């Protein structure tokens, strides 16, 4: 698989804050994505879950289903129960020909809670990492046997947020547990995305490219604001519109011969940041840097 560029529908309709873009039809998201030039789109909360209906809808716009977020609860249930719970999501992805299964532990996450400050992110006790890692490894092996790449999404407000969290995560899990490398969550969580790509090339199974406005994040965090309040304040944006060097990211991906999806994703208020305008900017910027790096 060569490099393919996709987009997250979260810029049009925010699943964590449904009031953002609530009136936007799925057809608008897909039309915009196709006309911007994306090859695929990740699963959104408003998308139909009937495989035949969703396939017909995506086909009408010439788009692939890249994959979609799955919320795991491995801190509160065993791997067998998790595997049972994920069956409808897995069946949909397989029916639509997706090759990546994106997952994050959300049983104690705070990123969807406007009443919890970003500084209240849960942290695992050192003794809990081994069991969590075993559960993830078992689920990942199952997903791989089903023909999909397992790509864990480190994320602000979850137990895999900081560098030390990611280090423990890698130590506790088998190499079947891949990563959804998210440049924005890495930067704001204190994770060096370039180092992750360099040091753990076999773990990088999926890539989310979002840019950040670091000063906005620092101000929101210092004011004990929540993750969602930070989103509304504009701490995230698309590539080519913030602080990050995506030329360096593309060079790092080229150095490990990355092949797969690169997804433009930015949680923003669509009433302020027109998803079509920002989506085009993000895709154009990434393609420019990818060409310079020889990635495409």
What's the CA gap between 153 and 21, in Å, rounded?
A: 24
Mean pLDDT on 111-127: 96
- Give the dihedral of Cα atoms 176, 65, 68, 152; nearest 10 deg: 20
Would the pLDDT of 86 be above 70? yes
Mean pLDDT on 120-143: 97
pLDDT band at 1 (very low <50, low <70, confident <90, very high): low
Look up the CATH number of the domain holding residue 104.
3.20.20.150
Mean pLDDT on 18-30: 96
pLDDT at 127: 93
Q: Which of 54, 113, 57 lies closest to 89 in space, CA to CA?
A: 54
Over residues 215-256, the pLDDT tens digits come to 999 999 999 999 999 999 999 999 999 999 999 999 999 999
CA 173, chain centre distance (Å) = 19
Q: Which domain range does residue 179 map to?
A: 4-293
Would the pLDDT of 139 be above 70? yes
What is the share, in percent, of the chain residues with pLDDT greater than 90?
Answer: 100
Over residues 25-76, the pLDDT tens digits come to 999 999 999 999 999 999 999 999 999 999 999 999 999 999 999 999 999 9
Q: How many domains does the chain have?
A: 1
First vs last C-alpha separation in the chain: 12
């Amino acid at each position: 698989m060569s490099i393919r560029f996709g987009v997250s529908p979260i810029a049009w309709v925010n699943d964590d804050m449904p009031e953002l873009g609530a009136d936007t039809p799925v057809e608008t998201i897909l039309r915009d994505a196709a006309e911007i030039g994306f090859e695929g789109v990740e699963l959104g909360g408003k998308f139909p879950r009937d495989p035949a209906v969703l396939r017909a809808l995506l086909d009408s716009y010439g788009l692939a289903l890249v994959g979609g977020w799955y919320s795991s609860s491995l801190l509160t249930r065993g791997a067998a129960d998790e595997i049972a719970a994920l069956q409808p999501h897995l069946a949909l992805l397989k029916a639509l020909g997706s090759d990546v299964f994106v997952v994050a532990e959300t049983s104690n996450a705070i990123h969807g809670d406007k009443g919890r400050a970003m500084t209240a992110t849960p942290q695992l006790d050192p003794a809990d990492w081994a069991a969590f890692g075993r559960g993830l490894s078992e689920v990942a092996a199952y997903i791989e046997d089903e023909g999909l790449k397992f790509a864990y999404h480190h994320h602000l407000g979850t137990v895999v947020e900081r560098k030390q969290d990611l280090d423990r995560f890698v130590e506790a899990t088998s190499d079947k547990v891949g990563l959804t490398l998210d440049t924005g969550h890495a930067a704001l969580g204190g994770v060096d995305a370039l180092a992750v790509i360099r040091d753990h090339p076999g773990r990088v199974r999926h890539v989310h490219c979002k840019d950040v406005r670091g000063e906005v994040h620092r101000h929101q965090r210092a004011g004990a604001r929540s993750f969602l309040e930070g989103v509304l304040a504009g701490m995230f944006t698309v590539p080519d519109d913030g602080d990050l060097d995506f030329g360096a990211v593309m060079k790092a991906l080229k150095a490990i011969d990355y092949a797969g999806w690169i997804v433009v994703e930015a949680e923003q208020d669509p009433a302020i940041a027109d998803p079509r305008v920002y989506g085009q900017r993000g895709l154009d910027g990434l393609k420019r840097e990818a060409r310079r790096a020889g990635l495409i």
